[in-house]
Structure 1
Amino acid sequence: MSVTEVRVAVVVVTYNSERLLPDLLAALGPGLGALSWHLTVADNASADGTVAALRRLAPEATVVEMGRNAGYAAGINAAVAVAPPHAAVLVLNPDVRLRPGCVETLLAALGTNGTGIAVPHIVDDAGALIPTLRREPTILRALGDAILGARRAGRYAVIGEVVTDDRRYARESVTDWAEGSTLLISRECWQRCGPWDESFFLYSEETDFALRARDAGLVTRFVPGAHAVHLEGDSRHSPKLWALLTLNRVRLYRRRHGLACTAAYWFVLLAREGSRALLGRQTSRAAVRDLLRPAKIREVPGPATVHSAR
């Protein structure tokens, strides 16, 4: 396969991901089917054997050694910058396992008029649906999450950001954004909306990109006939990661709304995390501490704060 002409540039960002690589790489061939593709990996200064394993298991891949823990968005941008010419970019987490034919189905969906990003139906390693579709963050949706919880609020478009109605995952649809573990991005979308915003370091970068694409008239399309497995990260269990995720939600909201609305959004998130902190949730306690420090919201997180593995 020539790396000068490919249909899909497969882009993966790694950080101490050695144990995940064999299964990830084994699933790429079946997942991309008859498509021509090339793998480019950006490694964020892994301390394990990630780079050596890549060179051994995938000798044809391009490996970009970032030299530092630069963040998820920076890794994606660096990988795309050196990828061969392509019709689409497939952004993958190292803990994603493509099912046969997944990317061919996604690529066909990119041909639908006005589609800039295509996303698959994703399950966890036990086969349970992962609700990956999202609505644009609003004050009312943050309030619904705070009062009812994300799953119950997500059944209703007005008050829920996470789309939790299983029926929505049985049919093709357009969504405001989708979680960023598996995204197929058209060349047009990347050229008009890229690169990803590196100031987020980790979390909300995919939200920002998808909303900017929507602003440019290019939607995110959910394709139920394309399938993948996501083993998922530890943001729900790590206080540092949960605090960063919460802070970046405020930072993203601030970029798209005025000061008064942002203050209201911040207050709702603070109330949500505060109520859960009172119940003893350590992740929420960390989020409250950071939400009460304005400098944290303005700060661009770096490797001293958190690692960049999802």
Structure 2
Amino acid sequence: MSVSVVVVGFGDEPVLRACLQSVVAQLGPDDEAVLVDHGVTTLPDVAGVRVVTPASNTGFGGGCAAGVEATSGDVLVFVNSDAELRPGALAALAAIVADPGVGLAGGLVLLPGDDDVVNSVGLPVHLTGLSWCDGYGERLADRHRSPRPLASVAGALFACRREVWDRLGGMDAGYFMYHEDTDLSLRCHLAGLDVVYCPDAVAVHAYEFSRNARKMFHLERNRFLTVLADYPPHLLARVLPVLAVLEPLYLVIAVRDGWWREKVRAWGWLLRHGGRVRARRRRVQAGVVDPHALDRLLSPAVTQTQLEQPGAIALLNVVLRLYWWLARPRPARGGRPDVVVLRTNPKDSSLPRLLTILTARHRTLALVWDRTADYRCPVASPRLRVDANRRRGEYYRLSTVITVASLQPWLLWRALRARPRVVHAMDLDTGVVGLLAARLLRVPFVYQCLDPYDAHLPAGWPPVVARLVHRVENAVVTAADLFVVTDLGRMPQHDGSQPRRVVELANVPMRPADPRPVGEDDGLVVGYVGSLVPHRALDVLVDVVGSLADDGVRLVLGGFGPLEAELRRQAACHSNVSFLGWVPDDEIMSVMAAFDVFAVVEDPDHLAYRWTSPNKVFESMALGRPVLVAEGTLGAERGVEAGHGVTVRYGDPADLRATLLDLRDDPARRAALGRAGHAAFTARWSPDRLTEQVLAAYPLPAPARAEMRR
């Protein structure tokens, strides 16, 4: 990504030339640097730096905005005019803000001299809006060299992506000077983005702390502007008592130090411009994505640097910490997730597929029913937590319906307690409770239908039940802010619904696939790993392949479901049939890489299976293998469309036998089919393309707050 560096200068600038030279020395061929001249006494002539001269002095925030407008880089780096960069600072900042979850990154700022004394490693922010230089005056140590989250960057050296700057609206030019960095950082947190410390980006800052009248006015006024605009209602209500207690104390200190007039003047400005203050609060709060982002960031303790009263500070901090311990909002265990996912059947590949996509950007909590008490989530991410209910249960039984109904209060309570920004329900057994949770929380609701419930009701149930279930599911689809479907070709199954927005999340494998060359031997390995359910002719597949033991055809069968015990017994009758049972999602691609041909032959006369878009169709594409599919099914349409599907008649042993022998005898055909499928997968169904497609449609206006890189 290209980098644009912005430096704002004013008055006498003894370090400006060295500052600009240190910047230019690090610019790449596509990078640029601008100096915003707000009345620099003597402009240095430094090659590679463009000078922008606004019509008037608009302050630090306005100057930064002018510099941004005059540049075009993907990454914006802001450097104080009295700071000199050490080598590698720009590259380090550009690398860390490339993470879509990072909004702002601040560097390590040192004081001049040979001893590497710290000026700032970021700014802590007090409940009352005060901020100060963390680490000021300390000798550089290990704690200053570790990346970590920040409450606020320091304006002397920080960076962001241009898109983040535009989204936040940049710095508020109305501040003119001081506290713009803290305000921008708090708004970044509220937008759902991280503010982080980058110790590899180092600047030496010719910093001198002073208290002049103009400075103290802007510090006091802007501190209040930040608190009154940025703090969400629940936080502002908890902070007002602290302000009521500390403001008289601050006034006493101001009288003692001779700047009380500036403090009173700041109060007066706020009273006179109450309408402006309220309007700014409305603007800021309208853009809040994570209203609880500041709850853990603010510090209840004040420092000696702030008040210079060490005797009184210790007692005051005891009181403040006790108050904040009692008053601070309590988040759910593990922090507030961006998304809560509800799923009662976590062992199939649909849940890890979704979690892989969501955790690329968002902090996710999965609430699952682990009915066999052996579930291990195959997705490993610092952005993921899994909360499992281990109540025992079975698959596809009437008792399953009763147990799922009894789980609804648990799902609702856990979702409400987590306070996510989005509720995502998978299938109707979590759809209604997910919708209820989202409405109570006033957050977007995503409904993902893997298979319509009415199509899977047991045979013999009254038709009125199917019609009722269909109407309920249509109502959930219509109410959802986003409807996720496995294949857009399945939309006729949801006839009567009116989804607001639809995105296709196909059953593609998210783990890397390693297509292997087709073997030239006389054997053929047929494979099926998936749900062991009726209407997939699995018994026919076992018997047909079993009869071909002397013809070099073998079958590898795996999965779980109601037919597991029966198929295990049937497989044991044939020497060339291997039964694996359930294969974890993180192992499934390596197991299937040994297949020469996949088989997923579903019943076209059954409403549920006519419309499925099976995992096997896409897994075989990814691995460059042909797939057997039943005529008249959506899976056959997808296989033929990709060029790797071979159709057979459902439940016809003779046709299946003949097709398998043909594929065994023609490895060149198998190779050609596999190449066609893999090409289609790469062009249309790749995991990266799928992730981008789903996240672009997802009703989260910002990336998640990324976990810090350790």
Match of 1:242 in 2: 216
Distance apart, 1:260 and its partner CA: 6.0
Match of 1:11 in 2: 6
Distance apart, 1:25 and its partner CA: 1.8
Q: Which amino acid aligns with 1:101?
A: G
Match of 1:304 in 2: none
1:39 to 23, 27, 33: 33
Q: Distance in 2 between matches of 1:269 and 1:96?
A: 34
Contact 2:60 / 2:177 at 8 angstroms: preserved in 1?
yes
Contact 1:172 / 1:223 at 8 angstroms: preserved in 2?
yes
Distance apart, 1:34 and its partner CA: 4.8
Match of 1:102 in 2: 89
What pairs up with 1:284-303 in 2 under 5 angstroms?
284-295=259-270, 298=273
When normalised by structure 2's length, the TM-score is: 0.35
Contact 2:17 / 2:46 at 8 angstroms: preserved in 1?
no
1:118 and 2:105 aligned = yes
> 1:214-256 CA distances to partner (integer Å, 9 max, x unpaired)?
222221110112211111255x332320231122101110113
1:131 to 120, 125, 129: 120
Match of 2:229 in 1: 255
Distance apart, 1:266 and its partner CA: 4.5
> 1:198-220 CA distances to partner (integer Å, 9 max, x unpaired)?
11111122222222222222211
Q: Distance in 2 between matches of 1:233 and 1:268?
A: 30
Q: Distance in 1 between matches of 2:206 and 2:269?
A: 34
Q: Which amino acid aligns with 1:28?
A: V
Q: Distance in 1 between matches of 2:271 and 2:48?
A: 41
Q: Distance in 1 between matches of 2:47 and 2:28?
A: 20
> 1:135-156 CA distances to partner (integer Å, 9 max, x unpaired)?
44424x86xx9xxxx79xx79x
Residues 106, 268 of structure 1: CA spacing in aligned structure 2 closer, same or farther, 3 A cutoff? farther
Q: How many residues align?
A: 268
Q: Which amino acid aligns with 1:254?
A: L
Unpaired runs of 5+ residues, structure 1, are 1-5, 156-161, 301-310
Q: Distance in 1 between matches of 2:183 and 2:7?
A: 19
Contact 1:133 / 1:175 at 8 angstroms: preserved in 2?
yes
Residues 295, 222 of structure 1: CA spacing in aligned structure 2 closer, same or farther, 3 A cutoff? closer
Match of 1:199 in 2: 174
What pairs up with 1:158-173 in 2 under 5 angstroms?
168-173=143-148
Contact 2:217 / 2:265 at 8 angstroms: preserved in 1?
yes
Contact 1:250 / 1:265 at 8 angstroms: preserved in 2?
no
1:77 to 54, 65, 68: 65
1:218 and 2:213 aligned = no
Percent identity of paired positions between Structure 1 and Structure 2: 22
Match of 2:18 in 1: 23
Q: Distance in 1 between matches of 2:53 and 2:28?
A: 29
Q: Distance in 2 between matches of 1:269 and 1:297?
A: 22
Residues 263, 297 of structure 1: CA spacing in aligned structure 2 closer, same or farther, 3 A cutoff? farther
RMSD: 3.1
Contact 1:240 / 1:286 at 8 angstroms: preserved in 2?
no
Q: Distance in 1 between matches of 2:271 and 2:54?
A: 25
Deviates more, 1:9-18 or 1:95-104: 9-18
Q: Distance in 1 between matches of 2:152 and 2:272?
A: 22
Contact 1:117 / 1:184 at 8 angstroms: preserved in 2?
yes
SS in 2 for 1:15: strand
2:257 to 278, 281, 285: 281
SS in 2 for 1:232: coil
SS in 2 for 1:293: helix
Q: Which amino acid aligns with 2:37?
A: D
Contact 1:250 / 1:297 at 8 angstroms: preserved in 2?
no
Contact 1:45 / 1:69 at 8 angstroms: preserved in 2?
yes
> 1:145-185 CA distances to partner (integer Å, 9 max, x unpaired)?
9xxxx79xx79xxxxxx9x9976423111112122111111
Contact 2:105 / 2:153 at 8 angstroms: preserved in 1?
no
Distance apart, 1:114 and its partner CA: 0.7
Contact 1:13 / 1:72 at 8 angstroms: preserved in 2?
yes
Q: Which amino acid aligns with 1:14?
A: G
> 1:52-74 CA distances to partner (integer Å, 9 max, x unpaired)?
x24xx125422221222211111
SS in 2 for 1:221: strand
Q: Distance in 1 between matches of 2:28 and 2:273?
A: 46
Q: Which amino acid aligns with 1:86?
A: G
Q: Distance in 1 between matches of 2:184 and 2:28?
A: 29
Q: Distance in 2 between matches of 1:237 and 1:288?
A: 12
SS in 1 for 2:192: coil
Q: Distance in 2 between matches of 1:187 and 1:203?
A: 22
Distance apart, 1:22 and its partner CA: 1.6
1:232 and 2:207 aligned = yes
Structure with the larger RCO, 1 or 2 (CA within 8 Å, 6+ apart): 1
1:188 and 2:163 aligned = yes
Match of 1:64 in 2: 52
Residues 274, 11 of structure 1: CA spacing in aligned structure 2 closer, same or farther, 3 A cutoff? same
Q: Distance in 2 between matches of 1:136 and 1:285?
A: 22
Residues 201, 224 of structure 1: CA spacing in aligned structure 2 closer, same or farther, 3 A cutoff? same
Q: Which amino acid aligns with 1:72?
A: F
Residues 229, 137 of structure 1: CA spacing in aligned structure 2 closer, same or farther, 3 A cutoff? same
